Structure 1
Amino acid sequence: MWDFDLSRTFAAMARTAPFIVFRMAVYFGIAIFYVIATGAGGAIGYGVTSFSDDGGGMGAFYGAMIGFAGASGILYFAREFILYHVKVAHIAMLVLIHDGKQAPEGRAQIGFAAAIVRERFAQSSMLFAIDQLIKGVLRILTGLLGTASVLIPIPGLQGVMRMVNAVIRMSLTYVDEVIVAHIIRTGTDNPWQTGREGLVLYAQNYGTMIKNAIWLSLFVWLITIVIFFVMLGPVIALMALFPGDLGVWAFATAFVFAWAFKAALVEPLAIYALMQVYFRTIEGQEPNVEWDQRLASASAKFRDLKDRAMDAVVGPRPADGT
């Protein structure tokens, strides 16, 4: 089964309730923005084409599509802000609580955790770059260690193996946040180097980590699917207030609300549960040199991490030819 303690996980969520409220405000605010953008786009499209042969139906559809796409574009550009001020700040507070260190109560947690993040990562762009490099290495690592179809070569079960592989890839969703938690926990002044070491430690404990990550991924998506169907009815009723046929966008908006619920309430549970396993598993271990070399030979992003770690120590290297 799994190696994390659910009671401890829920207790940590209760201790960081201000962050849960903060996450709810951010993510449900995003979901409401999607509703407004999609509904307004549909209404405008309906109004512009209301005199057409279909009575504005297609106009409403395409208007809603433009509104939904516009909201998605804005969210894309906001992802760096969300990572820095919401996700990683919450992770910083969870690390403190995990280690039994003194942490403020109430709303003061948010400012306190933000200061920790600024101390570890001078700029949001730095954190974002590290996170993207870690994600890239994790994708390579999964292929390097072999997918389910390689590990379990059973003839005639290719479809099942593809599904298992998809679950394995999906389970990596929270691993980059766990590596970031490792960076915060060590108090490092060279997050590039610590991120690299954290990846090596993850690789040398891949079996334990992926088992727990798969369990958590299944839990998260099962809850998300349930929330989707719970939200579908109210969203359809809400979309009925806008002119035109927006039925298909009701499904999209219900998915956005389910995503908001997952991001605000379920994801921090999964991240902290996986943090428990990671911190316990790597306790007393040193990064394996062979794994370091193996990752360096397989992943350009891992080599980039190593180069940036070196630059942080000795300064940027001169460009070629200078």
Structure 2
Amino acid sequence: MWDFDIGRSVSIMMRTWPFIVFRMIVYFGITLAYIMATGTGASVGYGVGHISTDPDGPLSFALWGGVVGFGVVSMAVYWLREYILYVVKAGHIAVMVHLIDGHDVPDGQNQIAYAKEVVTERFAEANILFVVDQLVKGAIRAITGLLGGIAAFLPIPGLSGLVSFLNTVIRLSLTYVDEIILGYNIRINSSSPFETARQGVVLYAQNGKTMVKNAVWLAVIMWGVSFVIFLLMLAPAAAILYVMPGQLAGWAFVLAIVFAWAFKAAFIEPFAIACLMQVYFRTIEG
């Protein structure tokens, strides 16, 4: 079974409620932006579509208008990813690290200000943290790519399927490794974030068996919860699309995914990170 304490992780989430609320505002705000942009794009497209002589013109234009609106918000979220990482994720991780180590942290809005101060001490600029994060992710992609490259050169029947399965397991086990390494960076009060990140990845690899086991268990739990959330989100997504022009039923599926993503980012991800940081800190000390 797993080595993390679910009760303790839930307790950490409850004690970091200001960040949970902050994450809800950020990620559900992004969801609202998706809904408004998709709806506006579909409405504009539906109106423009009446110019077309094609009887299906309004519906076709509405569909493409929704696609454009969805794409515009996706681009905005992509460009805001550094801010989201620096303020939302890193700040929350900083507070969770201190709670795991038994330190006291402020409550309310003071907790967010305190976390921002801690992160700023470690990473003076958002782009430094972002570069460290991308370097860790690059190392992960190199590992999975190496396995695929080896399989391509070895003429062993069924090897590609086995490697594909192993890559899936590796990706599951490394989903939150960049957040864990960030927590390790903050925990040891590093003055050299790049070198500490390298050491953190090495320690993760040295204790890979334990980390993979717990990460896969956690991934199964998260997949199950995320699927249930997705099913529950289909109803409100369909209700929102009911007021949109045209028969855009397919967008209910897309918006349900966005709703589920927002819920996952606000609630499930912090829980997973708290669980894995427990295991990581305890394992590298042992």
TM-score, normalisation: structure 2: 0.92
**Ranges of 4+ aligned residues in structure 1 off by more than 4 Å:** 142-147, 154-161
1:40 counterpart residue number: 40
CA shift for structure 1 position 203: 1.1
Distance 1:198 1:105 in 2: 29
What SS does structure 1 have at the residue aligned with 2:176?
helix
Percent identity over paired residues: 54
2:84 counterpart residue number: 82
Using the TM superposition, name which of 247-256 and 18-27 deviates more.
247-256
* AA matched with 1:44: V
1:6 counterpart residue number: 6
Distance 2:245 2:13 in 1: 41
CA shift for structure 1 position 166: 2.1
CA shift for structure 1 position 158: 6.2
Distance 1:159 1:51 in 2: 51
**Residue ranges of structure 2 left out of the alignment (5+ in a row):** none
Distance 1:165 1:190 in 2: 31
Distance 2:85 2:224 in 1: 24
Distance 1:171 1:199 in 2: 13
Q: Does 2:16 match 1:25?
A: no
> Pick from 72, 75, 79: which aligns with 2:74?
72
* AA matched with 1:94: M
Distance 1:144 1:5 in 2: 34
Superposed CA offset, 1:70-115 (max 9, x none) = 1100000010000000001000000010111121112210000010
Using the TM superposition, name which of 42-51 and 110-119 deviates more.
42-51
Distance change in 2, residues 1:223/1:164 (3 Å): farther
Check whether the contact 2:9–2:271 (CA below 8 A) recurs between aligned residues: yes
1:176 counterpart residue number: 178
What SS does structure 2 have at the residue aligned with 1:19?
helix
1:141 counterpart residue number: 143
Distance change in 2, residues 1:78/1:116 (3 Å): same
CA shift for structure 1 position 280: 0.5
CA shift for structure 1 position 50: 2.2
Using the TM superposition, name which of 233-242 and 254-263 deviates more.
233-242
What SS does structure 2 have at the residue aligned with 1:103?
coil
Distance 1:47 1:112 in 2: 49
Superposed CA offset, 1:241-262 (max 9, x none) = 0112222222111101100000
* AA matched with 2:3: D
2:260 counterpart residue number: 258
1:246 counterpart residue number: 248
Check whether the contact 2:44–2:65 (CA below 8 A) recurs between aligned residues: yes
Check whether the contact 1:61–1:245 (CA below 8 A) recurs between aligned residues: no
2:119 counterpart residue number: 117
Distance 2:161 2:143 in 1: 22
Using the TM superposition, name which of 169-178 and 184-193 deviates more.
169-178
Distance 1:187 1:65 in 2: 45
What SS does structure 1 have at the residue aligned with 2:68?
helix
CA shift for structure 1 position 141: 3.4
Residues 198-209 of structure 1 mapped to structure 2, 5 A cutoff: 198-209=200-211
Q: Does 2:50 match 1:50?
A: yes
TM-score, normalisation: structure 1: 0.82
Matched residue count: 280
2:278 counterpart residue number: 276
Superposed CA offset, 1:215-251 (max 9, x none) = 1122222211111111111111111101122222221
Check whether the contact 1:38–1:249 (CA below 8 A) recurs between aligned residues: no
Check whether the contact 1:10–1:269 (CA below 8 A) recurs between aligned residues: yes
Distance change in 2, residues 1:40/1:163 (3 Å): farther
Q: Does 2:200 match 1:195?
A: no
Superposed CA offset, 1:245-299 (max 9, x none) = 2222221111011000000000000011000010001005xxxxxxxxxxxxxxx
